[in-house]
Amino acid sequence: MRRRVLLVGGGGEEDMTSDPMAADGMGPTEIIHSGSRGTSADVGGGKGAEFSPFRLRFRSRTTTNESTRRADAGRVGKRVTRRTIAITDRLNEKLDEARRKFRDRMAAASFTLIDHEHDATMSNGTFFDLDGHDDEITPQSDLLLPNRDIFIVTTAALPWRTGTAVNPLLRAAYLARRAREINDNNRTLANELTNRVDVIDNTTSVGGAPSYRQMVTLVIPWLELEEDRLELYGPDATFDSIQEQENYIRDWLRNEAKMADVADADTGLKIIFYPARYHSGLKSIFAMGDMVGDICAVLRKQIDGGNLNNSVCILEEPEHLNWYRAPGEGWTKVFNYVVGIVHTNYVEYAGSQFHGLWTAPAIQVMSSAMIRAYCHKVIKLSGVLQSYAPEKECIENVHGVREDFIYKGRRRAQHFLEKKSVPLDEEVEGRAYYIGKILWAKGFEQMLELEEFYRECTGKYFAIDVYGSGPEEDEIKRAFYGRRRGNKSIDTEETESDSEDVQSYSREFISKKLTSLKISSQEFELPKSLYELRKKPIPAKFLGPVDHALLGDRYKVFVNPSVSEVLCTTTYEALAMGNFAIIPDHESNKFFSRFPNCLCYRDKWEFAANLRWALTHEPEPLTPELAQEFTWEAATERLIRSSAITRREAKERALLGKAKLDERIAFFHRELGKGTTGDALRKFLGGGPVSNQVKYEIAKQGLDHHEGLTQKFRTSSFVRAIQSSLRLS
């Protein structure tokens, strides 16, 4: 809407765009012209209204001020927003710059550490620039080099017939033979070079004799407490001194293993002991005191010049050896090269217990830390084990079996080639057998399930003879026989056989069980398994412990449903004797699957089919090549091969920079184990009788645990005077 407004004093008319408020009848417009006074002639409908030229005043001042404030507020808000965005951008730029500087500093520090580790590994011979020979073995990890001392440390010893007692002993014995060959070859080569150039080589002395002979040493535990030896070894094998146990072990090497050359104390295998205690709760032996320090004190006396820088240490069960040990120097600080061989799946055993929900993860973390901190190379016997240190570990079976088992396997193969039937014991014909520890964890629950399924398929249970013993034997017997019969199924007439050797091993065990029936029959225990309520018993015989080699000619079918093993020794021995081995298709049995007599099953149907076929057929004879795979000579070569580190692997490790992490873990482990706090921590973690490591070490050194004084200083006149003064005061 347009209006004509007369400006007084301007002398003319001007078109203006009217205000919407005025157009809606909000009132006349008052006009004021600067420099003159007057009233418009009826302008806007008001007569005689005063006005000022060129100044417009609206009656609706409230509306005008509100719109102005809104506009100002909008402009201020935009200005604040722009300033906030600018400040935020500047802060982000500064933060990005700080992050870049931090990353640059960390990268520089990392490269510096890598360079330091590179220089360190170069200095001790573990790293080489790749020059086309990246598959060559580093000198530090080469066990074939002459004049290297090899020490094998394990957690058990004979007469305890467990895998960590027998296998390390045989490994040390065959390594001693292999070391002798290496040194003899080196001496022969040195003599040839000496005769050619008429220069005496630095590895030989006058007369061609070696200046230093390689020595393989077995380090085993000595149970200090008589009650520990009685509980573990039995009343017939208690020793009054270390020398008696050493003589027992050497006699076993000479008579059982047929290794008289290695059994000689002067020219064969060296054996030393470390003090230990038996933990009945964990069914394990643990060292007491500073084991590394004690071992080194003895070893330095045996080695020329006391130099351990070229030595190799093989830790059998490295996690077990370090869980509760006293604080001291780490293995990698003392020995030039440390190899760990993992035997036992402790995580599986812990997980099968009622407290496994929290103990299994704790054991997994602790085992990984111990192995990472104290080993250069880790050998896992099978892939069923957890991952400890991925850049250090490999999977290889470094075990073998005794010649007795291989001899029986070769004899069975000879009978097959001559078209002769293998003479089996008529009493056990058509029966399978199991040998090992009688524990639920060894697969007896799966065995019962397979018995039930086999009965559904064939109408009857399969007969089985069980050899061995264990703390859960009575429970397992009731599960096989039912509570009505219980242990009464053991009958001396049923257990008689034509084999005098088996009788001599089993008769004493059976007589002990028969004498204990009167006591056990008066006791009542709640059922530990639903299988105890069975009405029809399973045709099984529990015949006690026996040497597995005595069973090779009596049976041809070995059944072992256990999946808790890392590498089952009895399965290994059964295959070496040429028997069928019916075992689960599991990662722990992967090594055995290469042999033709190994019948793996994936479900109950395959088990029933394999057992039926094995009972009605003869095992295939072992070829010489397959028989060689069972020998300890082949196992020793696998150990040497799997212990080696190539140049490529050494470079990859150096680039990873995990050496500092390993050192920090060892440092924290040593610091946490010091003092009374360390003893309390070990007790809290289940150390039991081996918790007070620091207190034991103080007592061994002749220190008073409460006063911190040596016995010699306590008896001095000075200390007596102070003590008397304190008493008088």
Catalogue the E-assigned strands of 119-215.
150-153
pLDDT at 516 over 70: no
Instruction: Please count the structural domains in the chain.
Output: 5
Alpha helices in 328-442 (DSSP H): 331-334, 346-351, 356-374, 403-417
The answer to whether the CB of 305 falls within 8 A of the CB of 330 is no
Residues whose CB falls within 8 Å of the CB of residue 701, separated by 6 or more in sequence, listed in order: 710
The answer to whether the CB of 604 falls within 8 A of the CB of 449 is yes
Q: Express each pLDDT in 613-647 by its tens digit.
A: 999 999 998 888 999 999 999 999 999 999 999 99
The answer to whether the CB of 267 falls within 8 A of the CB of 273 is no
Burial annotation 422-432 (CB, 10 A radius, 16+ → b, else e): beeeeebeebb
Pick from 263, 148, 264, 159: nearest CA to 220 = 159
Cα separation, 358 vs 59, whole angstroms: 84
Final residue of a domain: which of 105, 123, 141? 123
Residues whose CB falls within 8 Å of the CB of residue 641, separated by 6 or more in sequence, listed in order: 396
Do 532 and 618 lie in one domain? The reply is yes
Q: Give the tokens for residue 123.
A: 């200095």
CA 262 to chain centre: 32
pLDDT at 86: 86
pLDDT at 323 over 50: yes
Alpha-carbon radius of gyration of the chain: 43
Pick from 341, 304, 312: nearest CA to 178 = 312
Strands 30-32 and 55-57: antiparallel
Do 14 and 155 lie in one domain? The reply is no
Residues whose CB falls within 8 Å of the CB of residue 238, separated by 6 or more in sequence, listed in order: 226, 229, 230
Number of residues in the chain: 729
The answer to whether the CB of 406 falls within 8 A of the CB of 529 is no
Structural domain contains residue 262 = yes
Cα separation, 716 vs 727, whole angstroms: 17
Do 276 and 337 lie in one domain? The reply is yes
Q: What is the mean pLDDT of the chain?
A: 78
Cα separation, 22 vs 26, whole angstroms: 5
Q: Express each pLDDT in 548-601 by its tens digit.
A: 888 878 899 999 999 888 999 899 999 999 999 999 999 999 999 999 999 999
pLDDT at 492 over 50: no
Q: What is the 3-state secondary structure (H, E, C) of 564-585?
A: CCCCCHHHHHHHHCCCEEEEEC
Do 235 and 288 lie in one domain? The reply is yes
Structural domain contains residue 141 = no
Do 47 and 75 lie in one domain? The reply is no
Cα separation, 47 vs 479, whole angstroms: 124
The 10 Å Cβ neighbour count of residue 21 is 14
Structural domain contains residue 378 = yes
Pick from 369, 371, 502, 527: nearest CA to 425 = 502
540 bridge partner residues: 464
pLDDT at 421 over 80: no
Cα separation, 512 vs 259, whole angstroms: 34
Do 84 and 192 lie in one domain? The reply is no
pLDDT at 427: 59
pLDDT at 244 over 60: yes
Higher pLDDT, 358 or 439: 439
CA atoms within 13 A on the CB side of 639: 31
Q: Torsion angle, CA of 472/249/435/276, rounded to 10 degrees?
A: 30
Do 530 and 555 lie in one domain? The reply is yes
Q: What angle do CA 625, 630, 634 make, to 5 degrees?
A: 80
Phi-psi region of 430 (alpha: psi -120 to 50; beta: other; left: phi over 0): left
In this prediction, residue 232 has a pLDDT band, given cuts at 50, 70 and 90, of confident
Alpha helices in 418-531 (DSSP H): 444-458, 473-481, 492-495, 500-515, 517-521
Reduce the DSSP state of residue 23 to 3 states and report it.
helix
Structural domain contains residue 388 = yes
pLDDT at 156: 94
Burial class (CB in 10 A: 0-12, 13-18, 19+), 725: exposed
Structural domain contains residue 411 = no
Do 526 and 570 lie in one domain? The reply is yes
CA torsion sign for 620, 621, 623, 627 is positive
In percent, how much of the chain has pLDDT > 70?
Answer: 71
Cα separation, 682 vs 331, whole angstroms: 20
Question: In this structure, what CATH number is given to the domain that contains residue 501?
Answer: 3.40.50.2000
pLDDT at 82 over 50: yes
pLDDT at 217: 93
pLDDT at 44: 44
Edge-first strand order for the sheet with 432-435 is 540-542, 464-467, 432-435, 557-559, 580-584, 598-601
Among 3-12, 426-435, 685-694, 711-720, the range scoring the smallest mean pLDDT is 3-12
Domain that holds residue 170: 150-395
CA distance to 27, 309, 409, 415, 545, per residue, from 149 (Å): 117, 10, 35, 44, 37
CA atoms within 13 A on the CB side of 618: 16
Do 252 and 226 lie in one domain? The reply is yes
pLDDT at 236 over 90: no
Catalogue the E-assigned strands of 263-414.
270-279, 284-287, 312-316, 337-342, 377-380, 393-395
The answer to whether the CB of 714 falls within 8 A of the CB of 707 is yes
Do 364 and 462 lie in one domain? The reply is no
* Average pLDDT of the segment spanning 109-115: 66
The answer to whether the CB of 330 falls within 8 A of the CB of 292 is yes
Q: Express each pLDDT in 464-484 by its tens digit.
A: 999 988 888 888 998 998 866
In this prediction, residue 115 has a pLDDT band, given cuts at 50, 70 and 90, of low
Structural domain contains residue 667 = no
Q: Express each pLDDT in 121-161 by its tens digit.
A: 555 544 445 456 678 899 999 998 888 889 999 999 999 88
Among 14-23, 320-329, 410-419, 574-583, the range scoring the smallest mean pLDDT is 14-23
pLDDT at 54: 44
Structural domain contains residue 405 = no
CA 580 to chain centre: 31
Structural domain contains residue 230 = yes
Do 362 and 493 lie in one domain? The reply is no
Residue carrying the six token digits 């196992």: 635
Q: DSSP label at 175?
A: H
Do 217 and 317 lie in one domain? The reply is yes
